[in-house]
Structure 1
């Protein structure tokens, strides 16, 4: 149990350190009543973008998004293809669908504002426990402890509580035990300060305990076993898949297919293809997948490109072939839509990262039939 006096000392030490070590971010500037609505939107977008995404990776996407989609009202009405194109390359594309649905709810029910009630925030599409606590504390200064991976690690060590961030029960137990440490007058700043300690000091390996602002409160450090906390995650070997896809040519145009909206990479466009079956050559897999996905028969030609790409839970080797149309009317059999486009038009469509590595090669003239 953390005493009140110990908690206040912890808060003072943490916030004093944060004042000197905070990183200025574009969504944290100014929250007076004249720009509160705009600020709420900025914070909301930043938190969704930062779900399972590094800050430095998200920043350029955030800047571009704000120029094109400056408010919940604009987001609620924006075409999904435009939103996916802005998000292209950032990954976890379901976030885009959730963002649009959340914006529509906020505009219809809350006047384009983020409600102050934690339960209403938590009920929004794409908002989990951490994001709800973060938004409530950052925007409305509600006393919620936001437990992301960084904060879980810091607090697990401070309280010497074993547990795994991937376990929901462990996250809940740690949040309850650490709640007395929360500065209830400045919960948003407190949460951000903890995250900053996790980023700069309390590292997963070789933590910099010598410069930690809360070292004297850290039970893990005092026990000499700081790296024992939190419990190590059990890492499973990610599966690897062989994928064959075709650049299907006809009269100078290319056939592209849109992935089903509710599936993995939903709404993005790609060169039709799929997983190779056991005992199947890549060329045969390409021919079969194109036919099953689009109803088109093709002659498979030369290899165009081979790409290795890792996603969060699996990796692929994508073998792309030049294919030439033989017969059949393109249909959306295993996809959402199909479309013939000229090579110069490809950059208008949002593609997954693996396919995206191929698209610039058409403009440079390196990929021709």
Structure 2
């Protein structure tokens, strides 16, 4: 089927035009300073579902703290979660560490250079495998992400739904024949760069496109109608109430989220889901009494936080509370921490906002 798309297509011309453009116009990004497979791997995991500008400082800080596979493999989970704090999708870094440990133990610290071996590592899907193999090892392997699917759907006038796994297979099949054997690294990065800078989701810059003459969608004037993608389901909205609970020493109570599920094992302020907005403070008082065995004075709300996930929206009303003395709640999942100590713990973005506004700005 993929051969049909490539019939009468100038593969060599497309390859040369794209690679020449990339080599001339590529952005200076820190992960492009080295072909080290570990560094390529870290950058590709970070870039999943995260913008380049957001990733740059995280990548630089992460590589300073974990400059080698061995450093990451040996690190405690709390350290890697803190380094990842704010990037979201924390399962990415947990899977990365699990996979890195396997590379250290099974492959003597050398990232595998075959698709079969590298794809067996936890968290390494077809795109990440292709990106590492082509960029770090110069192998002509396809690397199909959202940018690449958008570019190829326009170039080859593919009107299949890119949200379907079967459609990704079409693009991978095309790329096996299309990827440059001479410079697969620049070719694959060029496709990604083209999608990021020129062949954008809306208002593509066709006049600046280095492969415009090969683009079938541009020829027919339908580039803005592609790619075809089914809309995501409407996000679920949850109303939450959280509390910054202080003891007489000014310490605040934090707890660790469950071992599995959304934002697993990150720290947070005690919170509950609510259905009646009129009795939030009463519900928090009851929750603290039943779950933490403390009698708290819950004051008025002090902050509102909205956090949007891909499938979920949290609307959090934040309250401030006080208790007398310092009841012993210390465990692996519950802690009293001072304002200075709280910086050691990794929190989800929503609760980082609480720290910044309701903790750091209040005495």
TM-score where L is the length of structure 1: 0.90
Contact 2:18 2:190 in 1 (8 A): yes
Going from structure 1 to structure 2, the CA distance change for 1:219 and 1:342 (only over 3 Å counts) comes to same
**Distance apart, 1:213 and its partner CA:** 1.2
- How far the C-alpha of 1:258 sits from its partner, in A, is 0.8
Separation in structure 1 between the aligned mates of residue 190 and residue 130 of structure 2, nearest angstrom: 15
Whether the aligned pair in 1 keeps the contact of 2:118 and 2:129 (CA below 8 Å) is: yes
Match of 1:330 in 2: 329
Distance change (3 Å), C-alpha of 1:152 and 1:288: farther
Mapped to 2, the partners of 1:161 and 1:41 lie a distance apart of: 34
Residue from 71, 78, 81 that aligns with 2:68: 71
Instruction: Report the TM-score when normalising by structure 2.
Output: 0.91
Distance 1:340 1:154, change over 3 A: same
Q: Distance in 2 between matches of 1:45 and 1:93?
A: 13
Q: Which residue of 2 aligns with 1:311?
A: 309
What's the counterpart of residue 35 of structure 1? Answer: none
Question: For residue 264 of structure 1, what is the aligned residue in structure 2?
Answer: 262
Greater shift in the superposed pair: 323-332 or 39-48: 323-332
- Which of 331, 345, 349 is the aligned partner of 1:349? 345
Cα distance, 1:67–1:353 mapped onto 2, change above 3 Å: same
Deviations 1:51-104 (A, max 9, x none): 111111000001111111111101011111111111111111111211211111
Q: Deviation at 1:262? A: 2.2
Tell me whether 278-287 or 165-174 shows the greater mean CA deviation: 278-287
In structure 2, the CA distance between the partners of 1:206 and 1:325, relative to structure 1 (3 Å rule), is same
The runs of 5 or more residues in structure 2 that have no matched partner are none
Does the Cα contact within 8 Å between 1:344 and 1:363 map onto a contact in 2? no
Q: Stretches of 4+ moved more than 6 A in 1?
A: none
Please name the residue that 2:33 is paired with: 29
Gaps of 5+ in 1: 32-38
How far apart are residue 293 of structure 1 and its match?
Answer: 4.8
Residue among 32, 36, 44 paired with 2:41: 44
Asked if 1:120 corresponds to 2:117, the answer is yes
Report the more deviating stretch, 240-249 or 61-70: 240-249
Specify which of 167, 178, 181 is matched with residue 178 of structure 2: 181
Q: Are 1:11 and 2:15 counterparts?
A: yes
Q: Which residue of 2 aligns with 1:150?
A: 147
